[in-house]
Amino acid sequence: MFVLDVRLEKLMMMRVRVLTSVIAISILIFSACTRDESAERMPVTTDSELALKLYETGMVAHDELKGSIAWGSLMHAVGEDPDFFMAYFWMYFMFSKDSKGVAEEAFQSDTELSDGEELLKTALKYFVDGQDEKVIETLRKLVDLYPSDPYTHKILYYIQYHFHKDIEGAIESLNDAIEAVPEFSYAYNLLGYAFSDLEQYDKAEEAFDAYIRVAPGLANPYDSKGDFYMKTEQYVKAYESYLKAVEIDPTNFETSKKKASKAKQMMEKVSI
């Protein structure tokens, strides 16, 4: 296993222990929502069925912005299978861009990987070495290989948006993802924020509304729409949208309650 700062490692392990019962229940819920494996999806290599379920749980939680469950699930997954490349891959980006130890664990995996995973391993090496153009080139090959897998698109977007700050390129990738996998709700969320960054608010609102239509039972679409309303100074609507997120998932969206309070303050300030 990779070596973390001792204090951070202890903190993470404490969080993982607290999350154990939550994750055990979440596996049953999230794995039921995961589509069946097929040739259209990039194979994920692991010898452990439990590790695979934990990984799937973590990825769905990551899409729903449930960071603690996502991190805890991946930690458990590599505990079950220390050679689980894809779990390390996502842990690297969730933990820190400078998580060299996590990358080393990914590179040292002895498991025979799928073609898609080999491309990701190559892309990760380029990323660690700072060869940005080769990272994108390799990830585009991955998308071409598995165009119907939403996570291949997500990885490409994730690098473009969060690390290369290429918003226009990220929007192009997200539109490709939506065209290929219209039910991939997370893409609409990301698209909304990308358009907001460019101050293209009409397109941003369309994307957030589509997110709500595709995933009306989740809290995050309403939290995201609340962020949109705050940015466009529609404070009453922001307040209502944040409260809707809290109503749906009060446990994981405590921050939405704080955002609602901020929106209420702005409402009162504007009305003075």
pLDDT in tens, 116-131: 999 999 999 999 999 9
How far is 188 from 207, CA to CA, in rounded Å?
5
pLDDT in tens, 172-228: 999 999 999 999 999 999 999 999 999 999 999 999 999 999 999 999 999 999 999
With tokens 């073609």, the residue in question is 115
The arithmetic mean of pLDDT across residues 15-22, rounded, is 42
CA angle, 141 then 154 then 121, to 5°: 50
pLDDT in tens, 250-265: 998 999 999 999 999 9
pLDDT tier at 248 (50, 70, 90 boundaries)? Answer: very high
With tokens 């997500």, the residue in question is 154
Q: Which residues have a Cβ under 8 Å from the Cβ of 244 and sit 6 or more positions away?
A: 219, 222
pLDDT in tens, 56-112: 999 999 888 788 899 999 999 999 999 999 999 999 988 755 577 888 889 988 889
How far is 86 from 121, CA to CA, in rounded Å?
9
pLDDT tier at 16 (50, 70, 90 boundaries)? Answer: very low
Select the more confidently predicted residue: 30 or 211: 211
Secondary-structure class of domain 114-215 per CATH = mainly alpha
pLDDT for 8 equals 36
How far is 188 from 221, CA to CA, in rounded Å?
9
DSSP 164: S
The arithmetic mean of pLDDT across residues 235-248, rounded, is 98
Residue boundaries of the structural domains of the chain: 1-109, 114-215, 217-272
> Is pLDDT at 249 greater than 90 in this prediction?
yes
